[in-house]
Amino acid sequence: MIQVPPADREPVRHLYVHIPFCHRICPYCGFYKHTPGATDRKRFIAALVAEAHHAAATIPLDIETVFFGGGTPTLLSHTHLELLLDGLHQTLPLSNVREWTFEANPKTFDRAKLEILRTHGATRLSLGVQSWNSQFLQLLGRDHTPEGARESFELARQSGFPSLGIDLMFALPGQTIDQWRDDIDTTLDLQPDHISTYNLTYEEDTEFMQRFERGEFHQDPDADAPFFLLAAEKIPAKGYHHYEISNYARPGHASQHNSAYWKGSSYLGLGPSAVSTIHRQRWTNIPDTTRYIEAVESFHHARGSAETLTDNDWRTERLALALRTSQGIALEMVGGPHNPTVQSLLEQNLAHIRQTHLALTRKGRLLADTIATELL
C-alpha cells in the first residue's frame, strides 16, 4: 500500500526553533514554555547556536524554510534577537531560505524589533490574536486587548512583512456562533495573508483541563461543527484557500514550512522540547530549558526521547496528516478508488477524488481523525 521512501541522504530543508519564554502562561496552553524568570538568556542563545552548530556538522542541511515558535519568540529583546539570528546565520546554511516565519504575540514587539527580524530574513509573521473579544481574551488569560492586537497587526503591515497571518481560536467556553462570526469578520476586514483557526482543545496538565475535569467546561464536538463550518464558508469566500483543516491562505501565502510536516518531509528542531524527524528517526529535545542548556554545553545536543518509525508508523502518520490537507492522500496509499471504505466515504460525500488523490470534503474534514482510522 503505502510506499516508504528509502532512507536517503537528501539534505534536511526545514528548521524549527523553539523559544520557550512567555510573558504570562495561558491557562489552556500545552506547549513547553515558561516565564523567563532567572534563565540566563545569553547562555540559552549560546546553547541554541551551539546546538545548530553541531547539527550542521552532523546532518546534511540545505534549509529552505524556518519557523520560530514557542513560547513567544518575539519576547526576546532586541539585543538577544540579534545575537541569536546572527549566530544562526553564521552556523547554518540559510542562503536558500524561501520562507521564514516568526510566531508573535500582540504587544511583544515594536517597530525596531520587527526591523531586526526583517533584516535577518524573516518573511512571515503569525500573530496570536486568538479572539477579538476582550471577554474571551481574559478567559484565555491573554495579555493583550483587541485594540492592542490591531495595533500590532498594523505595525507589522507597515514594517513590510510579505506575509502576515492571524491565529484565532473557536469553541471557547460560552462562545456563541455570532461571537465567532464577529471574530471572523473582524479578521477578514484586516485582510491578513493567512488565517489559522484552532478548535480549543483541552490539553493535559493545564488549568483548562482541570476546569474541564471539574465539569466547569464541556466539550461537544458535534456542537462545535457549525463553528468550523462557518469559518470554512466565510474565509474562502474572501479568496482564501482552505489548504489544511486549520489553515487558510491567500494565493502564494500557504505556509511552506507547515506543509512540509504534512507531506512527511524531514525537519530539524532546535531548542528545548523541539522535535526533529529525519527520515525514520525522530527525537525530542529535553523539555526543560535549564537541562537543555546543560546538555548542549556538555554534549552539543539535547536529545531526550527518540523513536524509529516503523513502516506502519510512517503510513499512519502519512495518512493522518495528508488527509488534513486540501491535496489529500495519494489513492494508491489507501488501496485505490475501489477500496470499499473509500467507496463508502465517496458515497457519503465525506471525500472526493481529485485526479490521483483522495481528499476530504468540507463535511469530511470535520471527521478527519475518524476517517483516518477507518482507512488505516
Partner 1 sequence: MDPALTRNFSIIAHIDHGKTTLSDRLLEVTRTITERQKQDQLLDAMDLERERGITIKAHPVTMAYAARDGKTYQLNLLDTPGHVDFSYEVSRSLAACEGALVLVDAAQGVEAQTVANVQLAMNQNLMILPIINKIDLPGADPEKCRHQIEEVLALPGEDALLASAKEGIGIEDILEAIVERVPPPRLRGDDTLRASVFDSVFDSYRGVVSYVRVFSGTIEKGRRIRMMATGNDYEVKEVGVFTPKQSPRPALGPGDVGYLIANVKSTADVKIGDTVTDARKPAAEALPGFKEIHPMVFAGVYPVSSEDFEQLKLAIGKLQINDAALTFMAESSAALGFGFRCGFLGLLHMEIVLERLRREFGMDVISTYPGVVYEVDKTNGETQVIDNPLMLPEPQEIEEIREPLVKAFIMLPNEYIGDVLQLAMEKRGIVDHTETIDDGRVMLVCLLPLNEILVDFNDRLKSMTRGYGSMDYEHAGYQPAKLVRMDMLIAGEPVDAFATIVHRDKAASYGRKLAAKLKDVIPRQLFVVAIQAAVGGKIIARESIGAMRKNVTAKCYGGDITRKRKLLEKQKEGKKKMKAIGRVSIPQEAFIEVLKTSG
Q: Residue 68 binds which one of ligand SF4, partner 1, none, with CB within 5 to 8 A depending on kind?
A: none
Angstrom distance (rounded) from CA 51 to CA 66:
16
Q: Are 250 and 264 within 8 A, CB to CB?
A: no
The least distance separating partner 1 from the CB of residue 8, rounded to whole angstroms, comes to 20
Using CA atoms, how far apart are residues 270 and 279, in angstroms rounded to an integer?
Answer: 17
Q: Which of 10, 31, 43, 326 binds ligand SF4 (CB under 6 A)?
A: 31
Cell numbers found for residue 42:
545569553
Interface stretch with ligand SF4, choices 6-14, 23-31, 39-47, 171-179 (CB under 6 A)? 23-31
Nearest residue (CB) to ligand SF4, 70 versus 269: 70
**Is residue 313 a contact residue for partner 1 (CB under 8 A)?**
yes
Q: Of 56, 24, 20, whose CA–CA distance to 41 is shortest?
A: 20
Instruction: Decide whether 156 or 245 has the Cβ nearer to partner 1.
Output: 245
CA torsion through residues 258, 264, 265, 266, sign: positive
Question: CB 271 → ligand SF4: shortest distance, Å?
Answer: 13
* Closer to ligand SF4 by Cβ: residue 37 or 251: 37
Q: Which is nearer to partner 1, 116 or 140 (CB)?
A: 140
Q: Tell how many helices (H) and how many strands (E) occur in the chain.
A: 14, 15
Chain residues 318-337 in contact with partner 1, contact rule CB under 8 A? 319-321, 324
Determine if the peptide bond prior to 87 is cis (ω within 30°): no
Give whichever of 32 and 262 is closer to ligand SF4, judged by the CB atom. Answer: 32
Q: Report whether 227 contacts 35 (CB < 8 A).
A: no
Torsion sign, CA atoms 140, 143, 147, 150: negative
One residue of 104, 195, 249, 274 binding partner 1 per CB under 8 A: 274
- Cβ closest to partner 1, residue 123 vs residue 341: 341
**Exposed / middle / buried, residue 213 (Cβ in 10 Å: 0-12, 13-18, 19+):** exposed
Residues in touch with partner 1 (CB under 8 A): 16, 69, 196, 198-199, 201, 219, 221-222, 224-225, 228, 245-246, 258, 261-262, 267, 269, 273-275, 277, 282, 284, 307, 313, 316-317, 319-321, 324, 344-345, 348, 350, 365-374, 376
